[in-house]
Amino acid sequence: MMKYLSGKHALWLVISVALIWFVNLEYRVLVKPDEGRYAEIPREMVVSGDWTTPRLNELKYFEKPPLQYWATATAYTLFGEHQWTSRLWTALTGFAGILLVWFAGLRLFGREAAGYAALLLGSSLLYVLMGHINTLDMGVTFFLTLGIVGLLLGQTQIEPDKQRNWMLLAWAGLALAVLSKGLMGLVLPGAALFIYMVAQGDFRVLKRMHWLPGLAVFLLITAPWFYLVMKANPEFFERFFIYEHYTRFTTKDLGRYQPWYYFIPILLAGALPWTVLMFDTLLRTWRGSQLPRQMFNAQRFLLIWAVFIYVFFSVSGSKLPSYLLPMFPALALLMGKRIAEMRERTLAWMLVPVIPVALVWLGFAFNLEKLADTPLQHQLYPHYISWLVSGAAVLLFGVLLALWLLKRLQKLPGVLVLALSSLIAAQIGLSGYNTVARERSAKHVAEAIRAYVKPEVPFYSVMTYEQTLAFYLKHTFILVQYQDEMGFGIKQEPQRWVPTVEEFAKVWAGQKQALAIVPVYAYAQLQQQGLEMKTIFQDQQHIVVSKP
């Protein structure tokens, strides 16, 4: 019975997965809000040369630290400003996370469990999707995982030198997590470790943390940017440390409030096709991960970490699907160990529910047009159907073939077939979204008006801010009667915006050349102000005008 792939076959598998993983980064247009925002901020860094103070639409933007901005700005500098370079950091850290889980599994649970863990992580629906959408969550997930892996390997080491080196890696990983998305990179692992120590009754972990060299490494990585940004921007401390970390977690201030059960369907769908296996693993890990108290229990810590992440964000006042992402590497490690110990027929029964899921996916695809609410959706949705049907068919074929292999006691081939089928199905569905992305992307607007856009011609964005348009035009806007997430930056530099449409009418009258974009529903307000305008572009959502 084959337990693991040979070195040559494993290398070809890694290459194949890498091709599937990276192939569509340029294919899809950027969509709002996150992909436009996190493509534009590093673009403005490159243009301005200021890599200390993040800016969005030339306004100070202190929601997140700069590590991903720096990485993307570097990609722009080396390879140019493209859709694929804007997504490159997310894709790289996502793929590196799969390799990291394999390495951790190899050290903690053995070669067979490591291979399964990597396959499971690289085919879990939420992980695959977030590895190809330009947000900050995959980057912070990778570095949190790096920190946790360093902690686990350090705490399980007997030799002092090896223990110190792994713990320094853990501190470095957490520091880079802080530079990726803020203090959660330190607070979440610290809280999970405290819960672990209480649950295990083992506080000797604290003696093995290597505090002085560890904190030195942590501060060496994090302190320079925080010092420089606070020196250049005295208002940074209150906005970043108080508002972004305390206010957004404890209040509904950002409009992202969801009920406590919000993450239940996200976890169920995000773990596909391994959802049943996930719950079986969680229960068995809690019951069966007993070790002598003098030994660090890596399984118990991974379990506590995964559950803690879920509970922490469930009680938060701000919720997004991607917030669960840091759970998945830990779950994959535990599930990889579980599969390695599991009989083929037991695993087969856990995969049977994927069949009705694939059938539901097919039914959803064939009825997609019925979900359209707007004329634009009615126009676009039919083009997405064939992609969704293809993805569902690949998943259904994969699970049926996997079950056939498992019935013949071929566990690794069965898992491999389903993992690759799930990855390909997710990539097909994600790539197909390009057929309906026009509703959430302004690339077509940029292509239509590019000839009118000049560096010296002011471009006003009236009562809206289209997140992707600035990146595609390589041009920022003067906001009119609109603040949203840029309200803080406007407060710091109020001269960079126009508060009302009435004031904008006066500014417009004084311009020799100017452009403006306005939502279709608000165009009548500009007409009421008597503005001299010439329409140069119009679709179902926006109108772009020039000064005649």
pLDDT in tens, 368-387: 999 999 999 999 999 999 99
**Are 203 and 265 in a shared domain?**
yes
Higher pLDDT, 287 or 196: 196
Spatial contact of 135 and 284, defined as CB atoms under 8 Å apart: no
User: Is 45 among the domain residues?
Assistant: no
pTM exceeding the 0.85 threshold for the entire prediction: yes
The verdict on residue 134 lying in a domain is yes
On whether residue 128 sits in a domain, the answer given is yes
**C-alpha separations of 134 from 427, 499, 528 in Å:** 15, 31, 39
Count of domains for the chain: 3
**Boundary residue ending a domain (437, 452, 482):** 437
Is residue 382 a contact partner of residue 365, using CB atoms and an 8 Å limit? Answer: no
What does the pLDDT average to over 313-321?
87
For 412-462, write each residue's pLDDT tens digit.
999 999 999 999 999 999 999 999 999 999 999 999 999 999 999 999 999
- Residue 19 covered by a domain: no
Of 400, 420, 437, which residue sits at a domain end? Answer: 437
Q: Mark whether 388 and 520 lie in a shared domain.
A: no
Helices and strands, number each (H, E), in the chain:
25, 8
305 and 285 Cβ atoms separated by less than 8 Å? no
Q: Which residues contact 165 (CB under 8 A, 6 or more apart)?
A: 154
Do 315 and 365 reside in the same domain of the chain?
no
Same domain for 338 and 214, yes or no, is yes
- Residue 69: inside a domain, yes or no? no
* Percent above pLDDT 70 for the chain: 96
Angle formed by the axes of helices 160-181 and 211-232, to 10°?
A: 20
Specify whether 157 is located in the same domain as 263: yes
Within-domain flag for 491: yes
The answer as to whether 7 is a domain residue is no
What is the C-alpha separation between 165 and 454, in angstroms, rounded?
A: 54
Q: Looking at the structure, tell me whether residues 121 and 259 fall in a common domain.
A: yes
* Calpha distance 536→517 (Å, rounded): 10
Same domain, 198 and 335: yes
For residue 254, what pLDDT is reported? 53
More confident residue, 290 or 226: 226
pLDDT digits (tens, 9 = 90+) for 54-94: 999 999 999 999 999 999 999 999 999 999 999 999 999 99
Name the token pair of 330.
């830990």
- Residues 454 and 430 both lie in one domain: no
Find the helix or strand (DSSP H, E) in which 173 lies: helix 160-181
The verdict on 473 and 450 lying in the same domain is yes
Residues 230 and 124 in one domain: yes
Inside any domain, residue 513 = yes
CB 141 within 8 A of CB 324: no
Comparing C-alpha atoms, which of 434, 439, 444 is closest to residue 376? 439
Examine the fold and report which residue of 437, 471, 505 is the final residue of a domain before the chain moves on.
Answer: 437
Structural domain range at position 300: 97-342
Domain match, 367 and 505 both = no
127 and 158 share one domain:
yes
Q: What are 228-269's pLDDT values in tens digits?
A: 999 999 999 989 888 777 666 665 555 556 788 899 999 999
Q: What is the pLDDT of residues 126-174, one digit of tens each?
A: 999 999 999 999 999 999 999 999 999 999 888 989 999 999 999 999 9
Closest to 82 measured CA to CA, from 519, 91, 328: 91
